[in-house]
A and B are shown apart, each in its own frame.
Chain A
């Protein structure tokens, strides 16, 4: 297996002079700054020659002091090695433009659209540079730039967005009245076809119609728009629009201290709040250069695995009600089982849903007295019940008929689409962050990475149920092995990391959750980028839903275990 320095030397010999800066953080992290003209070639070289077949996301960073915009491309590998390379490209701030990676990686699409609408970075060669999360009225305001002064206040009728320019004067960028825009005054609205026009361009005959499954619909776990172009019962094309609950958490965290930021990570996805805490705190720990004490590492593993169990139980149960109806009883049984798991989490963290439990260099408090006995009892129950659910769905002929062979994703397709988490592992790709990135106590624990060969909807549910069993096994080991000791490293009261950046990944119940945190030496993060797992899975709905029956939308979309809140952030 190559190490990060091998990759760096390969890059330097293949592209002499194009690697402007480089830093080998560890054996599995490489940071390079490359010439933006060579970005496509370098990415192609890494993908084809060095085995970086997993495009994991990208982030825009506004370096206002240097008058630069940065785009950070995160690339990793599914099976070849566990190195993550962070490729940075710099581009002038007044006309930011970098080459698009969509020709190489299909899933770069949404990440680049987001960087475009938030920072105004143009991606040359992007096929559909339309807004993703923002409403149409905010496009052109580039709200995540550092000089953005606020959203137009439609309540009071103030229609302007203020921006401080270099001379210190305020200029107004959008929100002008329609007359002013029509008269050709600058700035002009950016021209692009609306979502509806893009949709209706695909209608070819009288027998086709667009059916809305969202933003308010029984299958959606949170508001998102899934429009399907149907011909009878067959779907010809699917369209996705997200951003209905866009909260701008990444931007909010820039205006809060490091510690205050933890609270916002909880709210991104209430089913995975411990994993989100963990990913954020881990990234900040890397910036601070601290490692949590061993007991705290075990407690963090226990909490993360408990939260995985409850998320999978709810995800599977909810999904089954989508296949049947809300009256399908195993859903309620899973909720009852989940209740015990939640109570366990509550006994550790004091909260049932949003825990805010993980701290930089440790955890907030130690395990309560008698936790081990209670946990062993609940784990035994969860294991028995999960086996029962496995038997139940294995023997249900209607379930098999609805799920077997529906929405099959081949291993190659799954990798090309950039799936992650259980949907990816169901397609015969055992890719798990707990294995890839040895964090916390996971290297000391014995566990299997669950995967399935079939790649259909049934396999995705099977993976989740098996992961519950595996998590139970992990927790039982933790209870046996957990050492005594402190649970919190000594840290100054005011956390001020050195300027720098860190990327940290954890295995969320839905897949690969990554936090990219940039520090400028102050007590607030300069930029936080969330690489959400369901964001990656979500954009694959469009190709996956083509050509299936309307009822299969439920079977395919539901088996992905959606969390809209985390997509919109």
Chain B
């Protein structure tokens, strides 16, 4: 096999010059990710508008770019870029300006450590990951919670009552759900004997969604909370506090804050698939062997995305005190029970 010979040569070179190899991969990865992620997020928005439209007996976007409206989001992005950039007079200007930037940077930090599927060449799987670090599961979870800092920056600096309340709600929610989410990641790591996402995927002969169903449920709920989607979107509940922390943002600054939510949604779905749904594992597809793992992976991600969109069309919103109640009184104990389960079962199977 010629292709595998090339890969072999690159691998042996990488083993001899690990730093230069990491640098090159990092540069290419950064360029690819920052481009691809934003376009994917645009199509996550498109998917949401289309699926929600269908749930609500509407059409959704159907004018710009064929009758499927596939260029609607491009038009929206152009509109946002050309809008007037206004900053409220009483805003805390540096923080106000930096909040959307911090938000975008956070998503990139998360994306750097996530494997986006794998390719199968010559019977060997090569995961597509920029930074394949040993602690990637923990790192991703930690980087995702940095997002809340940007929410707080935006809410605090806007000098607006609605924004401030939205920011406080976001913080309270994050603190209540980040802990059970972390415990669930640890439970998975215990079963997989590794915190490396690639190794976690490779160890899933039985999906962890079945091996630890409790953890799967808790993680899913915590993920929806982290993404700030209905029923946990108290930080931007328009019926109560207008638009929450984004109230004072306009133009492309608002666009960045809005987009990072959908980037997070995409990355969160990937996390869920990697940790609990067997990642890119799946039966081989004839004639498509090299990209079979990719097909399985993105099919699973798509299903998770549609599930997240479906919740938005059919669920109501919790009150903020009920959310924190649920987090501390149910999710945290349940995640600890799941941890115990993972330890016992993990030892048994080890």
Contact = CB atoms under 8 A, between A and B. Distances in A.
Given A398-B316, A401-B322, A552-B319, A332 B238 contact: no
Interface in B27-76: 52, 55-58
Interface residues of B, number: 29
Contacts of B176: none
A549 B230 CA distance: 19
A461 to B, nearest CB: 12
A323 B316 contact: yes
B52 A396 contact: no
Closest 8 CB pairs of A and B: A324-B316, A551-B319, A332-B56, A398-B316, A329-B56, A323-B316, A329-B313, A218-B238
A401 B318 contact: yes
Interface string B226-240: 000011011001111
Contact of B316 (A218, A332, A399): A399
Given A233-B320, A327-B230, A398 B239 contact: no
Contacts of B238: 218, 325-326
B314 interface: yes
A480 B70 CA distance: 53
A553 B240 contact: yes
Contacts of B313: 327-329
Interface in A440-475: none
A217 B237 CA distance: 12
Given A327-B312, A398-B317, A551 B57 contact: no
B114 to A, nearest CB: 28
Please report whether the interface of chain A is mostly helix, strand, loop or mixed according to DSSP.
Answer: helix
Given A218-B239, A398-B231, A554-B239, A329 B55 contact: yes
Given A322-B239, A324-B230, A325-B233, A333 B316 contact: no
Interface string A376-396: 000000000000000000001
Contact of B314 (A328, A550, A551): A328
B196 to A, nearest CB: 37
A218 B241 CA distance: 9
Please report whether the interface of chain B is mostly helix, strand, loop or mixed according to DSSP.
Answer: helix
A218 B244 CA distance: 12
Interface string A320-359: 1111111111011100100000000000000000000000
B242 interface: yes
A323 B317 contact: yes
A547 to B, nearest CB: 14
Interface string B292-328: 0000000000000000000011111111111000000
Interface in A288-326: 320-326
B46 to A, nearest CB: 15
Interface string A232-255: 010000000000000000000000
A396 B316 contact: yes
A332 B58 contact: yes
15 contacts: A209-B161, A211-B161, A321-B239, A323-B316, A325-B238, A325-B317, A327-B56, A329-B55, A332-B58, A402-B317, A549-B321, A551-B237, A551-B240, A551-B320, A552-B319
A462 B317 CA distance: 19
A398 B315 contact: yes
A398 to B, nearest CB: 5
A532 to B, nearest CB: 25
Given A325-B317, A329-B314, A550 B322 contact: no
Nearest to A400: B316
A333 B55 CA distance: 10
Given A325-B230, A327-B312, A327-B313, A233 B321 contact: yes
A478 interface: no
B191 to A, nearest CB: 30
Given A396-B316, A551-B240, 19 more contacts: A211-B165, A218-B239, A233-B165, A233-B320, A323-B316, A323-B317, A325-B233, A325-B239, A327-B56, A327-B230, A327-B313, A329-B56, A331-B56, A401-B318, A402-B316, A549-B320, A551-B319, A552-B319, A554-B239
Contacts of A325: 230, 233, 237-239, 312, 317
Contacts of B231: 324, 398
B167 to A, nearest CB: 13
A385 to B, nearest CB: 13
A325 B318 CA distance: 11
A328 B237 CA distance: 13
A356 B73 CA distance: 44
A545 interface: no
Contacts of A402: 316-319, 322
A324 B317 contact: yes
Contacts of A550: 165, 240-241
Interface in A195-223: 209, 211, 217-219
